[in-house]
Amino acid sequence: MSRIGKKPVAVPQGVTATVDGQTVTAKGPKGELKFVANDEVLVKMEDGEIAVEPRDQSKQARSKWGMSRTQISNILQGVKDGFERKLEINGVGYRAAMQGKNLQLSLGYSHDVVYETPQGVSITVSKPTEVTISGIDKQQVGQVAAEIRKYRSPEPYKGKGVKYAEERIVRKEGKKK
């Protein structure tokens, strides 16, 4: 039994959710999102809550059960509040700036890295060393944050690079004489 899948997803106030077969649509103050559940799970709406059940007890159906419930929960939270991911830039001369809609990163390369902001995501730079990514789709916000972090991942000796704000870099000791 999936502990997550067993719990029904409550539809928050200010959000309208509809279930049409395998498609769950949510509309809220931030926008509209859709999720199409796999055919191996059954999605139904009852008493203002969305319940997800496996169609049978096969391993495939049970493995998609909890994931489908979490995806539905994420779209409901996204259209109501949205999601946000913060990145920190550490290193001498490393900085970020907005160039129109694009993010310009100086990360110690011979050239600046320009990252084009995808549709549905907004990027803001509050300080030259802090980047905030926000949007209503949790997967897309996380993907954009991962792509920006990938340009210069934090290294363990000096901690230089782009890291998530909540990430802790395990530092290594350098060479000894």
Residue 147 has pLDDT above 80, yes or no: yes
Identify the band that residue 47 occupies on the pLDDT scale cut at 50, 70 and 90: confident
Q: Pull the structure tokens for residue 26.
A: 């949510």
State the chain's mean pLDDT as an integer: 91
Q: CA-CA distance, 102 to 124, in Å (whole number)?
A: 10
83-116 confidence digits (pLDDT tens): 999 999 998 999 999 999 999 999 999 999 999 9
Grouping H, G, I as helix, E, B as strand and the rest as coil, residue 141 is helix
Q: What are 161's strand-pairing partners?
A: 90
30-40 confidence digits (pLDDT tens): 989 999 988 88
- Share above pLDDT 70 across residues of the chain, in percent, rounded to a whole number: 99
50-77 confidence digits (pLDDT tens): 988 888 888 888 888 889 999 999 999 9
Q: What is the CATH number of domain 83-164?
A: 3.90.930.12
pTM of the prediction? Answer: 0.87
Going by their DSSP bridges, the two strands 9-10 and 49-54 should be labelled as antiparallel
Per-residue pLDDT, 46:
86
Q: Indicate the domain borders of the chain.
A: 3-80, 83-164
**Fold matches, 3-80 and 83-164:** yes
Q: What is the CATH number of domain 3-80?
A: 3.90.930.12
Per-residue pLDDT, 1:
64
Residues 6+ apart with CB under 8 A from 122: 133, 134, 135
Per-residue pLDDT, 174:
86
